[in-house]
A and B are shown apart, each in its own frame.
Chain A
Amino acid sequence: DVVMTQTPPSLSVAIGQSVSISCKSSQSLVYSDGKTYLHWLLQSPGRSPKRLIYQVSNLGSGVPDRFSGTGSQKDFTLKISRVEAEDLGVYYCAQTTHFPNTFGAGTKLELK
């Protein structure tokens, strides 16, 4: 199975601060079609997950452009510019290139 390693496990931030979350995979996430199926999700407290970014860097519908994703092959980063209160929760990276699909363990974003 592809292991997704997220760091850090938690982040304490002030509103307006910018933060980055890293996600590293144990195998390349480039599929045979040349695309990379790495996605970022946010699970706000008590809510279902919501997809923020798909295929490394594409913003999901209705997602603010404060969120951005970069990376390639096995090394990916989610950046949140100017954190707002609604951004708090647990962030997951997920890969759908390989079966089984796998998730990172999550990064909990909390208010400082």
Chain B
Amino acid sequence: EVQILETGGGLVKPGGSLRLSCATSGFNFNDYFMNWVRQAPGKGLEWVAQIRNKNYNYATYYAESLEGRVTISRDDSKSSVYLQVSSLRAEDTAIYYCSTGWFAYWGQGTLVTVSS
């Protein structure tokens, strides 16, 4: 059974930083590209970042609106992917989902709230 668990969300002040983690099991993590997707309250889905697998030299891609403030990384030995987000703003408030390439599998999400 595929399991994806995001952690690391919470309440953070504007200008602060967070590191989100995504632990996976039940599929061959090394074969998959991994994405972070976010959803602001009551809004639609917004792709944030992707990291490819070893075969693609772990290439990374970012949404332009977040570029420079986010870093995606992965640890294949732990079947995990991470998202470092800095200089957080109120508009970054959202549920952050971890998803595999082509959005085959999703976690339950972790809520990030940016507020003073």
Contacts and interface: CB of A to CB of B under 8 A. Distances in A.
A51 interface: yes
B108 interface: yes
A58 to B, nearest CB: 10
Contacts of B104: 51, 54, 60
Interface residues of A, number: 24
A89 B78 CA distance: 34
Interface string A76-112: 0000000000000010101010011111111000000
Given A48-B97, A49-B97, A99-B61, A54 B102 contact: yes
Interface residues of B, number: 22
A50 interface: yes
B21 to A, nearest CB: 17
Given A48-B107, A48-B109, A49-B97, A103 B102 contact: no
B58 interface: no
Contact of A49 (B63, B64, B103): B103
A106 B44 contact: yes
A55 B47 CA distance: 18
Kindly list the 3 A-B residue pairs having the minimum CB-CB distance in the complex, ordered from nearest: A101-B47, A48-B106, A103-B45
Interface of B: 35, 37, 44-47, 50, 61-64, 97, 99, 101-109
